[in-house]
Chains A and B, each alone.
Chain A
Amino acid sequence: MAFVNLKKKEVQAKIVYYGPGRGGKTTNLEYIYNKFNKRIKTEMVTIKTHGDRTLFFDFLPFDVGKIRGYAVKIQLYTVPGQVKYDATRRLVLRGVDGIVFVADSMAVRREKNILSLKNLQKNLATFRKSIFRIPIVLQYNKRDLAEQGIPLLSLQMLEQDLNSKLKAPYFEASALSGSNVVATLKRIIWMTMSSLLKELK
C-alpha cells in the first residue's frame, strides 16, 4: 500500500519484481543499482544463500524525483523465485503497488514461467488483490541468449502463455546487458503512479 506523507510531501510506493527462479529479477535490480549508483545514496540490500540465490528479498530504494510537487520514493523489491520459498514470496508481496513479472525466455523454462504467474495470482489473492487490476509489466528476459544458440521461446509463445488475458505492456530484455531494464522500470513506475493518482482522486 502506498503511503502519502502530506507533511513531508512525499509518496512511498512498493514495486516487486516477481518470476521463476533464476529468471533475472535480482540481475534487474543489480543493473539498476549500478546504472544509477550516483543517485541512489544507499546500498542495495540482498539476502541470499551461499549459492547466490535470493533467500528472502533484495531491496533497493529509488528516488524518482518530484511528481506534482511530491517527492516520489519507490521501494524496489525482488522475491525468491524458487518454488520452496512460496511463503516468503507472500510476505514480500504485502502492500505491493506495482509488479514487474520477469519471465525467462529459455524454452526449457516455459512451464516455470506459467506456474510462477499462477503463483503470483494466487498470492495476490491472499491480500485481496487481483492480478488484472494491479499495475503490471511483463519482461521477457534473456533474449540475448539467442546469440549463443540457446533455444528461446518466441515472443508469440510468451505472449500466448503469459499475456493473453492480462494484456499488460511487455518488454523484450536482457537484464545482464541492461537492454530494456530501465524502460521496464520507467513503465512500471509510470503505471504505478498513474494508478495511485487515480485512487487519490
Chain B
Amino acid sequence: MTYMLGRKALDEIEAVLQQDLSDVGVDCIFLIDMAGNVIANLDNGEIKHDIYSLAALAAGNFAAVSTMARIIGEDEFSLLFHKGEKESIHFSKVLSDFLLITIFAKGISLGFLRLKVAEATEKIKRILEPFYTT
C-alpha cells in the first residue's frame, strides 16, 4: 500500500506543527508513519539530528512498546516518553498509522507538552483522515 500526500495537506500539517509546537518552544518535531517514513519535520534551526534514523528507531520503539502493552493485557500505554538530562522525547499516536514525535528541552513541562501535542494531534487527524485508506 502506497500513499501520497500533496502540497496542501503537507503545508497544513507543517503549519500545525509550527504554530502548536515549534512556536511554543519545542526543539524538534517530526511526524512519521509506522513504517518509519518521515512525513514532516520541523526544528528550531539549531538541531542537527539524523531524522531518518530517529524515525526508524521511533517506529520500532513504539511498535515494541505497543506489543509489550498487549502482552500484559493493555490496549496501549497512554504515555510514551523518555526523559533525558537536557532533552526529552515524547511519542504520540495519530490515527493508527502515524506517530508524532517531539523533542523538547527542560524549559517545557511534560504536562504542557502533552496538552499541546493533544491539540496538534486532533488537527493533524482531520488533515490526514481523507487520505486514510486502512
Contact = CB atoms under 8 A, between A and B. Distances in A.
Interface of A: 1-8, 12, 14, 42-43, 45, 56-57, 59, 61, 73, 75, 77, 87-88, 91-92, 94-97, 196, 199-200
A2 B64 CA distance: 21
A95 B36 contact: yes
Contacts of B36: 14, 59, 75, 95
Contacts of B38: 12
Contact of B33 (A1, A7, A73, A91): A1
Interface of B: 1-7, 10-11, 33-39, 50, 52-53, 56-57, 59-60, 63-64, 67, 97
A59 B38 CA distance: 14
B50 A1 contact: no
A42 B50 contact: yes
Contacts, number: 91
Given A4-B3, A4-B4, A7-B10, A14 B35 contact: yes
Given A8-B10, A94-B35, 5 more contacts: A1-B3, A56-B60, A87-B67, A94-B34, A95-B33
Interface of B is mostly: mixed
Interface of A is mostly: mixed
Contacts of B10: 5-8
7 contacts: A5-B5, A14-B37, A56-B64, A61-B53, A61-B56, A75-B35, A95-B33
